[in-house]
Structure 1
Amino acid sequence: MNSIKRPLNRAGRRRVAIVGAVAAGALALAACGNDSSSGKDHSMPGMDHGGSSSAKASPGSSESSAKGAFKDADVKFAQMMIPHHQQAIEMAKLSGSRASDKEIKELSAAIDKAQGPEIKTLQGWLKSWGKPESAPMDHSMPGMDHGSGHSGMSGIMSDKDMADLKASKGTDYDKKFATMMTAHHNGAISMAEDEQKNGRNVDAKKLAGAIIKGQTAEVEKFKKILDRL
């Protein structure tokens, strides 16, 4: 009986050893499986989404940044166009009590309506860019110093020009307003053309294009008005 039990015990010990080895191997495989699921096993459902998302988000962020990028030409365009628009609105508001021509009054109202919101847009850009609303005039810039205005800004009216306009009424006012606003618009068009040529910001260049289109059309209307007055 004892001789039979010994072999059985040996066999039992072998079985225990084999079972232990298999269990250890299973644990090792499980550990490897856990390693893969932490980011290396791309075959598992739902894995590697974080990495893909990050890779896709990065170029998207760069594109957004590029679209909103700006340079000095964009800043100067905004800084100059604000006072330019402000004077145009000041001139347009005079038409309510001084103009006699219906079309002059209509164009003045259109200028006031269009350029007021544009000023707010330009101010918002400068704020988001961390730039001041105004800056010293740079007379070397294209489009500058073409007019007789005291600031040297293209198409801007001098204090004397504004005083003469305020002192006039009726047909006299209509003629002066149409003449001055033609020069004023041409100055804005020149500044906008410079922005389209040298600027970088997508929105600023788009606004410049709208200014060129809108004010060129208004200049043509002012010329026709002057021809009939």
Structure 2
Amino acid sequence: MNRVLTAVVGAAAAAAVLAGCSGGDMPPMPGHGAPTTAAQPGAEAANAADVAFAQGMIPHHQQAIDMSRLAPERAQSQQVKDLARQIEAAQGPEIHTLSGWLRDWGAPEPHGGMDHGGMGGMMSADEMAQLQAARGTEFDRLFLTMMIRHHEGAVAMARTELAEGRFPAAKQMAQQIIDAQQAEIATMKGLLAQS
């Protein structure tokens, strides 16, 4: 009888601890109405600004990768080719992380194929076509000019996340984006000045 009583008391205590840790009594995430649950780890630390940051940065990074993938066959400058490879290597893993956060938060991922021209320094479809058609030094100049604007947009988005976001890992990524892309902007402005 004592064993049964001990097991019942132990189970009740465990259930109480789990109920206290589940986050089930947390309010919905702003802008989503989705309740925070144990199935959404970290959701209790995210707010609408964090979601907007992830949803905006995914297509932004994807366009930078698309631009960078044009460089190996079109750029004349080895420095431009190296920079493009660096951009692709950094932003691909960040897209994977951002997508994972959105899944964890129960938020939709942005749809591809949209013309985001003007949003956060992104290129329009016409500008992307112009870059695709360019070769040699013309490509280098266009790539650098467009990527500077693109990076400046990403830095602005990251600063908004730092100011308004709440999810610690997203704020950390935002700071990394600011640091890395400001350094790349300085490099690109130097390359443009040499051309």
Note if contact 1:67-1:202 (Cα within 8 Å) is conserved in structure 2: no
| Alignment partner, residue 124 of structure 1 | 100
Deviation at 1:129, TM superposition (A): 0.7
Instruction: Give the whole-Å Cα distance in 2 for the aligned partners of 1:87 and 1:66.
Output: 28
1:106 aligns with 2:82: yes
Instruction: Give the whole-Å Cα distance in 2 for the aligned partners of 1:67 and 1:78.
Output: 13
RMSD (CA atoms): 3.0
SS at match of 2:121: coil
1:215 aligns with 2:191: no
Instruction: Give the whole-Å Cα distance in 2 for the aligned partners of 1:66 and 1:185.
Output: 28
1:172 aligns with 2:138: yes
Q: Residue 96 and residue 224 in structure 1: after superposition, are their counterparts in 2 closer, same or farther (change >3 A)? A: same
SS at match of 2:120: coil
Instruction: Give the whole-Å Cα distance in 2 for the aligned partners of 1:165 and 1:84.
Output: 16
Deviation at 1:152, TM superposition (A): 3.9
Deviation at 1:75, TM superposition (A): 0.6
| Alignment partner, residue 198 of structure 1 | 164
Q: Residue 193 and residue 97 in structure 1: after superposition, are their counterparts in 2 closer, same or farther (change >3 A)? A: same
Q: Residue 131 and residue 175 in structure 1: after superposition, are their counterparts in 2 closer, same or farther (change >3 A)? A: same
Instruction: Give the whole-Å Cα distance in 1 for the aligned partners of 2:51 and 2:130.
Output: 32
What is the aligned length?
172
Instruction: Give the whole-Å Cα distance in 2 for the aligned partners of 1:200 and 1:109.
Output: 31
Instruction: Give the whole-Å Cα distance in 2 for the aligned partners of 1:108 and 1:155.
Output: 17
Deviation at 1:194, TM superposition (A): 0.2
| Alignment partner, residue 228 of structure 1 | 194
| Alignment partner, residue 66 of structure 2 | 90
Note if contact 1:68-1:202 (Cα within 8 Å) is conserved in structure 2: no
Deviation at 1:163, TM superposition (A): 1.1
Instruction: Give the whole-Å Cα distance in 2 for the aligned partners of 1:151 and 1:177.
Output: 15
- Poorly superposed stretches of 4+, deviation over 2 Å: 64-68, 149-152
Instruction: Give the whole-Å Cα distance in 2 for the aligned partners of 1:117 and 1:132.
Output: 19
Deviation at 1:113, TM superposition (A): 0.7
TM-score (norm 2): 0.77
Q: Which amino acid aligns with 1:160?
A: D
Note if contact 1:154-1:184 (Cα within 8 Å) is conserved in structure 2: yes
Note if contact 2:54-2:99 (Cα within 8 Å) is conserved in structure 1: yes
| Alignment partner, residue 129 of structure 2 | 163
| Alignment partner, residue 47 of structure 2 | 71
Q: Which runs of 5+ in 1 are unaligned?
A: 1-33, 39-49, 136-148
**Largest Rg, 1 or 2:** 1
Q: Residue 126 and residue 66 in structure 1: after superposition, are their counterparts in 2 closer, same or farther (change >3 A)? A: closer
Instruction: Give the whole-Å Cα distance in 1 for the aligned partners of 2:44 and 2:141.
Output: 42
Instruction: Give the whole-Å Cα distance in 2 for the aligned partners of 1:150 and 1:81.
Output: 12
Q: Which amino acid aligns with 1:174?
A: D
| Alignment partner, residue 31 of structure 2 | none
Percent pairwise identity = 46
